[in-house]
Each structure stands twice: as structure tokens, then as C-alpha cells.
């Protein structure tokens, strides 16, 4: 009998938190605040999650830092200053370390340790988590704060292992040394947000840059630059009011700037005027009050294409850098002030894969259908097995020995984005069917952790039954997610990682709840206030006390 099959007799901890990004750090702190025993596991050598791993040059958040931050503790809000309106990776990782130290949770985390499996024990209602340190810990409540974009996608290209030069992934860029690309011939595969950020940085030092693009993306200017002092002062004045206000918005952040005229009420000249004003103010995506209408979205998409096109000198390159195949927002749009102009440099060149696909990677370069390109370095910015990938990376077994992989064989199913039928007391913040990547992930982390620990508190007050969502609640939530996705232009028609289309063979399900943060939060708390009508309660005899 292996250690993981042995009967569980007692919980080592009330809560085990896996991951130490935004959600993990706050979950550890919240568990302690509520008098629960807790242990954290982190596969990296430090806290930060996404912001630990994605340490490539140019990595930067495209949500403004004064939004993309914690608000649960007013002193932390007042004691941290951002150097830029959109902070870079290093600064965000430093911030997360600062918060973890202030909350004194670093000591609770076992670093460099992966959680490999989680098994539910029906006799006791407890969970056993097996780690890469060949250890098993047991708990009542596993909180898998493992992120939505933390399982890198292996490049499905022949010959990857044959390349004899240097190879780097943006998703696991070396942190222990400086990668020196000076004077080197570099190929970059992938033009999503990571590619768009790293390519201009590589172009500053490399002798040649070959950008291998499968699909062009929308690229609009960033919101970076100096912080607005008045805004910072307002945020620091009453952080708790800000925190409450965020939860009343669609995206979980300060209200976005948007145009106040309606597309349907304007003639062609009026629409052009509004779009130009919005471009100057950097709110083109919300140029109209009714920007969500497909016809308004089409005008916005066209306008952005024109602005992109005019930044690139070579007509062929410009034509190919502009996304013609999907509407704005169908895929995750990118932001950069320098990406498009980078292609005007003489040593930077676009290779358009739909016309000249990569045939294989050679020991000394990349062979496309028309040429062999000699390279010293290949950078893979090829993305992630998003949202459900990190969940599948842990072998999770629930009631009746059912595996999560089987429960989600046709795509993720859960209720309110946090719990899965048949997996009692297991919590999955930042996972599928939550506002997730279409909201401010920092606000979402706080909201979900609050909801999870309010749920745990309710369970403790009610004799600690086991709780899991009913199957019909999951079905309702699946339909709700689909209903809102149908209203989002391009959501269901564009091939994107939002719906698993970037992974061959992955079930195609739109995985992000687009009903807005406010509605999501209210739906969660309606359950709690009404004693969880959408869930089933199970009693678990023979439970021991946590150490
Ligand atoms: P993305 O947005 O998934 O981008 C990955 C890119 O890599 C995208 O352009 C892909 O093309 C391309 N790709 C993936 N596999 C291949 C192969 N085999 N050949 C050629 N090109 C390939 O990931 P990012 O890391 O850039 O961004 C992730 C999120 O991080 C981002 O959205 C923000 O939320 C932050 P495709 O579009 O699939 O044709």
C-alpha cells in the first residue's frame, strides 16, 4: 500500500494552500487571521507565482498597478509605492514578497516543492496531498491557488530537442543569471502578450531577430508612465472604500474611462471623431457607451487595425502584423508602445507562418517551407495550457475515486468558479468559469479567498459538514457562462486560449465568466446568505482534530 492509499486518520492542517501568487499569499494570511492551521507549498524558490516565473525582459502588467494590488490591508496600501503606472515583473514580484513578509506568511511556505496529487478520503472527509518531496500532508480544505496561466504549453514543433543553440521560454526565463543576447541571431516563436513584450527588448541587443508569427494580435498603446499623484492620494486616503468600490464594478478596478456617446446614434463622421478622441485618450476599446454591440466592436477593430498599420513602414509586414481574422477582444489583446515600430528596424523581420510554416527545428536554426534560417537562440513565447491546465497538472481524485481529468474530460465544470461537484471542500480560486483573466486578478484573488474562507467559517459553525456543489448548479453555471460569452463579440468564434483552442485535442469550452465582477460577487454571497442552496452537504464521520 503506498502512502497516498493509506487511510487518513487525522488532518495535519485545517488548510493547505498550493501556490504563492496573489491568491496564495492572501489565502495563507486569511487562514491565520481566522485561527486555522495552515501550510503552503510553492514550486518556485520564492513567492510570486506568475510574477516569479515570467521573468523575461520587458514583462510588465497591462493592468495599472494602483488597481493590480491588494487592498485588504490599508497600511500595506499606504506603505508601498509603485514606480510606474503599469509595473514591470521584477517590481510586482518584489511587491508580493513585501506583502508576504508583512503578513508573516513566508515561514508557512515550503518552497521548491510541487504538489503532485490530492486525494479525497470518503471515510473522514479529509484530503491527502502528495508532494515532490515524497511527503504526504492531510487537511480539511485544500486551496489550490495555482493560477490560470501557470502551465506552459510545450511547443508542438518537430525538432525542438535537436536545437544546439540556447533556448528560452518566456514562461520560465532564467532568474539566476542575465541572458546575454548581444550580437546573437534570435528567433522568437509566438506573438501573444509575452512575445509582444519581449521582442522589442531582444531587438535592442540582438544582431538579427526573426519573429515567427502564426496569428497577428491587436496591439494598442500601454497605460504606463508616471503615477497620477492625485489618484494615489485618493486610493491611500481610504483603501477599504476603494476595495468595496472595486467589487461594485464590471472588471474589479477603478471605473474605466469610456466614451459617453452611443455608436448607434452617430453618423460615420461622428464615429470617426469619437474613435480619434478615444485613441488620443487611450480608451479606444470603450470608445462608445455601446461598445459591446457587434457593429460598434467591428468599427473599433477596424480603427485599431488602421492605427497599427500606419506604424509599420513596410507594407507587407504591416499587412501581416494586423489581425484580420478576429474582432478586437476575441483573443487577449496586447499592449505596447514600441512593438510595431520594432519591425521598422533593419535587423528585425517577420516570418508569417500561415504562408511559410515551420517544418522543423534544426540543430542550428529553423526550417520553414521556403528557407532555412540560421539561429543562435530560440525564444519560445508559445503560451500556456490555460485555466484548466494547472488543475490537470495535479492528479486530483474526489468522491468514488473519480479523477478531475475525467470529471472535466469535456471541459471544466464547476459552480461559481471555485468548487467542483464530487470534490468536497476542495477550492480552486482563479480557475475556470470565474471572471478570471477578464477581470482584475488581484481583486478577484481577494474576493475568491474571502468567499472561500467565509464558506469554511460557515462550515465550522455548522459542525463541519462536507460541501460540494450540486450537479445541476454546475449545469446552471455552465449555461450562465455561455450566455454571457455569447454577448461578447468574438468570444465563441475566435480560436483562443480562453476556450482551449491553442492546445491540440483540448475540449473547447469558453472558460471565463463574462457577467462581470459585481454580478459574480453578488451570486457567490447570495449562496452564503441563503445557506448554500446550490450545494449539497455531506456529513463526514470520524474526523480528527488538526495538529
Ligand atoms: P499567448 O497569448 O497564448 O501567445 C502564444 C503565442 O504563441 C501565440 O501567438 C500563438 O499563436 C503562438 N504559438 C503557440 N504555439 C505555436 C506554434 N507551435 N507555432 C507557432 N506559434 C505558436 O501566450 P502569452 O504568454 O503571450 O500570453 C499569455 C497571457 O499572459 C496574456 O494573454 C496575458 O493575459 C498575460 P496562435 O495565436 O495560437 O496562433
Query: What domains sit in the chain, N to C, each tagged with a CATH number?
Result: 13-151+386-538 (3.50.50.60), 189-380 (no CATH)
Running along the chain, 547 residues long, what does each successive block of 10 average in pLDDT?
63 97 98 98 97 97 93 96 94 98 98 98 95 97 97 92 98 94 98 98 98 97 86 92 94 89 98 96 95 96 98 98 96 96 98 98 98 98 97 97 97 97 96 93 97 97 93 97 94 94 94 96 97 90 50
Reported pTM: 0.95
- What residue's CA is closest to ligand 1, atom 2? 192
User: Ligand 1 centroid vs 11 CA: distance in angstroms?
Assistant: 41
- What residue's CA is closest to ligand 1, atom 35? 193
Q: Which atom of ligand 1 is nearest to the CA of 353?
A: 20
Residues facing residue 91 across a β-bridge: none
Does 437 sit in the ligand 1 pocket, CB within 6 Å?
Answer: yes
Does 499 sit in the ligand 1 pocket, CB within 6 Å?
Answer: no
Does 333 sit in the ligand 1 pocket, CB within 6 Å?
Answer: no
pLDDT score at 542: 47
Choose which residue among 169, 173, 192 to substitute to test ligand 1 binding: the one with the highest number of ligand atoms within 8 A of its C-beta.
192
Hey, what's the cell of 328?
A: 478586437
Phi and psi for 501 in degrees, rounded to 5?
-75, -10
Does 172 sit in the ligand 1 pocket, CB within 6 Å?
Answer: no
Rounded alpha-carbon distances, angstroms, from residue 481 to 433, 476, 485: 6, 9, 6
pLDDT score at 265: 98
Does 474 sit in the ligand 1 pocket, CB within 6 Å?
Answer: no
Residue 378 has what DSSP assignment? Answer: E
User: Ligand 1 centroid vs 191 CA: distance in angstroms?
Assistant: 6
Q: Compute the distance between CA of residue 80 and CA of residue 232 in angstroms, rounded to an integer.
A: 11
Does 92 sit in the ligand 1 pocket, CB within 6 Å?
Answer: no
Q: Which atom of ligand 1 is nearest to the CA of 502?
A: 38
Strand order in 348-352's β-sheet? 166-169, 377-380, 185-189, 208-213, 348-352
353 within 8 A of 343, measured Cβ to Cβ: no
Does 214 sit in the ligand 1 pocket, CB within 6 Å?
Answer: yes
User: Ligand 1 centroid vs 54 CA: distance in angstroms?
Assistant: 14
pLDDT score at 257: 86
Q: How many CB atoms lie within 10 A of CB 30?
A: 24
Choose which residue among 63, 214, 379, 508 to substitute to test ligand 1 binding: the one with the highest number of ligand atoms within 8 A of its C-beta.
214
User: Ligand 1 centroid vs 360 CA: distance in angstroms?
Assistant: 18
DSSP H helical ranges for 408-495: 441-461, 471-486
23: CB partners within 8 A, 6+ apart: 143, 145, 147, 429, 430, 445, 448, 449
Phi and psi for 120 in degrees, rounded to 5?
-90, 135
165: CB partners within 8 A, 6+ apart: 364, 375, 376, 377, 378
User: Ligand 1 centroid vs 38 CA: distance in angstroms?
Assistant: 36
- What residue's CA is closest to ligand 1, atom 38? 502
pLDDT score at 430: 82
Rounded alpha-carbon distances, angstroms, from residue 415 to 140, 346, 517, 527: 20, 52, 15, 11
- What residue's CA is closest to ligand 1, atom 32? 332
255: CB partners within 8 A, 6+ apart: 249
Q: Compute the distance between CA of residue 87 and CA of residue 62 in angstroms, rounded to an integer.
A: 8
Q: Compute the distance between CA of residue 392 and CA of residue 44 in angstroms, rounded to an integer.
A: 18
Does 326 sit in the ligand 1 pocket, CB within 6 Å?
Answer: no
Buried b (16+ CB within 10 A) or exposed e, 487-497: ebbbbeebebb
- What residue's CA is closest to ligand 1, atom 6? 190
3-state secondary structure of 427: strand
129: CB partners within 8 A, 6+ apart: 16, 18, 41, 115, 117, 118, 119, 136, 137, 138, 139, 142
Amino acid at each position: 500500500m503506498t502512502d497516498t492509499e493509506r487511510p487518513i486518520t487525522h488532518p495535519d492542517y485545517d488548510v493547505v494552500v498550493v501556490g504563492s501568487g496573489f491568491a496564495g499569499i492572501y489565502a495563507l494570511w486569511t487562514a491565520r487571521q481566522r485561527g486555522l492551521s495552515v501550510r503552503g507549498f510553492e514550486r518556485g524558490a520564492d513567492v510570486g507565482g506568475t510574477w516569479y516565473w515570467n521573468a523575461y525582459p520587458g514583462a510588465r502588467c497591462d493592468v495599472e498597478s494602483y488597481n493590480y494590488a491588494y487592498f485588504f490591508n490599508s497600511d500595506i496600501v499606504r506603505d508601498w509605492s509603485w514606480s510606474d503606472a503599469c509595473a514591470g515583473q521584477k517590481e510586482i514580484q518584489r511587491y508580493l514578497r513585501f506583502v508576504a513578509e508583512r503578513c508573516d506568511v513566508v515561514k508557512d511556505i515550503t518552497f521548491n516543492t510541487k504538489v503532485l496529487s490530492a486525494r479525497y478520503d470518503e471515510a473522514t472527509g479529509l484530503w491527502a496531498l502528495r508532494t515532490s518531496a515524497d511527503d504526504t500532508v492531510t487537511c480539511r480544505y485544500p486551496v489550490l491557488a495555482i493560477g490560470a496561466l501557470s502551465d506552459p504549453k510545450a511547443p508542438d514543433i518537430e525538432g525542438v530537442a535537436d536545437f544546439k543553440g540556447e533556448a528560452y521560454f518566456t514562461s520560465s526565463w532564467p532568474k539566476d543569471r542575465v541572458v546575454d543576447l548581444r550580437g546573437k541571431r534570435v528567433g522568437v516563436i509566438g506573438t501573444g502578450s509575452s512575445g509582444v513584450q519581449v521582442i522589442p527588448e531582444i531587438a535592442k541587443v540582438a544582431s538579427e531577430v526573426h519573429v515567427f508569427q502564426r496569428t497577428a494580435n491587436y496591439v494598442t498603446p500601454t497605460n504606463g508612465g508616471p503615477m497620477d499623484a492625485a489618484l494615489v492620494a485618493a486610493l491611500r486616503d481610504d483603501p477599504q472604500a476603494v476595495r468595496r468600490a472595486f467589487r461594485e464594478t464590471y472588471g474589479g478596478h477603478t471605473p474605466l474611462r469610456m466614451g459617453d456617446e452611443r455608436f448607434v446614434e452617430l453618423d460615420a463622421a461622428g464615429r470617426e471623431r469619437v474613435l480619434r478622441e478615444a485613441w488620443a485618450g487611450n480608451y479606444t476599446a470603450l470608445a462608445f457607451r455601446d461598445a459591446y454591440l457587434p457593429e460598434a466592436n467591428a468599427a473599433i477593430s477596424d480603427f485599431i487595425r488602421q492605427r497599427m498599420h500606419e506604424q509599420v513602414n513596410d507594407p507587407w509586414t504591416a499587412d501581416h502584423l494586423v489581425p484580420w481574422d478576429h474582432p478586437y477582444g476575441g483573443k487577449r489583446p496586447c499592449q505596447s508602445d514600441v512593438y510595431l515600430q520594432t519591425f521598422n528596424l533593419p535587423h528585425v523581420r517577420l516570418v508569417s507562418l500561415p504562408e511559410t510554416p515551420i517544418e522543423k527545428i534544426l540543430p542550428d536554426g529553423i526550417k520553414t517551407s521556403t528557407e532555412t534560417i540560421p539561429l543562435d537562440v530560440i525564444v519560445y513565447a508559445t503560451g500556456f495550457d490555460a485555466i484548466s491546465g494547472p488543475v490537470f497538472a495535479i492528479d486530483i481524485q474526489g468522491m468514488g475515486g473519480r479523477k478531475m481529468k475525467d470529471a472535466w474530460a469535456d471541459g471544466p465544470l464547476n459552480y461559481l468558479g471555485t468548487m467542483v461537484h464530487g470534490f468536497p471542500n476542495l477550492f480552486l480560486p482563479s480557475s475556470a468559469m470565474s471572471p478570471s483573466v477578464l477581470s482584475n486578478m488581484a481583486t478577484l484573488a481577494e474576493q475568491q479567498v474571502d468567499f472561500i474562507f467565509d464558506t469554511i467559517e460557515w462550515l465550522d459553525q455548522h459542525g463541519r459538514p462536507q460541501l460540494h456543489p450540486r450537479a445541476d448548479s454546475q449545469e446552471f453555471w455552465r449555461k450562465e457562462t455561455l450566455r454571457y460569452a455569447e454577448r461578447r463579440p468574438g468570444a465563441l468564434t475566435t480560436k483562443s486560449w480562453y476556450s482551449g483552442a491553442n492546445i491540440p485535442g483540448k475540449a473547447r469550452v469558453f472558460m471565463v465568466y463574462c457577467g462581470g465582477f459585481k454580478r459574480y460577487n453578488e451570486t457567490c454571497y447570495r449562496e452564503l446568505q441563503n445557506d448554500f442552496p446550490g450545494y449539497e452537504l455531506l456529513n463526514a464521520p470520524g474526523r480528527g482534530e488538526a495538529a
